[in-house]
Amino acid sequence: MTRPSLDKITARTAGISLIALTGLSLLFMAHHPTLGAPGYDTLAEEAAAEAGLNGGVHGALIVILIGFYVMLTALSDGLGRKRLSVRTAQASIIAASALMAGAALVSGFIVPGTAASLLRGDAAADFPALLRMLGATNQTLAEAGTIAYGAAIFFWSLRLIRMTGLARMTGAIGLLAGAGLIGGIVTGLLHLDVAGMTLALGVMGLWFVLAALLMIAGALSAQEQH
């Protein structure tokens, strides 16, 4: 019995991990806290009280983002980094990871930290104005990150569409998904509140799972010369 090569083992491990990370990202988004729950006198009080949950959820999402980057780098390796479309996708995933991590830091750590600071200074009334500014910062980073993720999926798919079988189907879906994510943000049809971000993650997650199945099956190494 022939043992699989180290490259194939790496691809399978990356594929399995990518599927697991996709599930975890949706799970943590389902537990994403939102401000406005009853029982608090001010938004600052609520944000400070939920700091532990907020930090835990967003800290986990940052770790997942790093995991996505590492596993999707294996996808670039399988598709061939010398190809311009793959290099462009890899550059896009670097940008996407940094931008999304920035959005998570704002929402998960800077917002509750600001609230706690204002409460200590008896200035809770100033929090709503600062929250609007921080919310705009979070949205800008998340929107730019979603565009970058869409671009990465689109450019990886330009390579996949030239292959056969499941790879070609994954490429076709990726072209639509990548263009849809970019178009949704640019046109304003996709607003990245918790529901919108969950939808975006679902679209990305579907494509990630398809790409992961290609890696698990060894389909990329079998067709990389085509």
Read off the pLDDT of residues 71-81 as tens digits, 9 standing for 90 and up.
999 999 989 88
* Distances, alpha carbon 129 to alpha carbons 43, 81, 125, 136, in Å: 11, 46, 8, 11
pLDDT at 93 over 80: yes
Strand runs labelled E in the chain: none
State how far the Cα of 24 lies from the Cα of 131, in Å rounded to an integer.
Answer: 28
- What are the sequence ranges of the domains in the chain? 6-223
What end-to-end distance do the CA atoms of the chain give, in Å?
A: 27
90 falls in which pLDDT band (50, 70, 90)? very high
pLDDT for 122: 85
pLDDT for 4: 43
Dihedral angle at the C-alpha atoms of 104, 110, 115, 119, nearest 10 degrees? 150
39 falls in which pLDDT band (50, 70, 90)? low
Whole-prediction pTM:
0.89
pLDDT at 3 over 60: no
pLDDT at 5 over 70: no
pLDDT for 213: 95
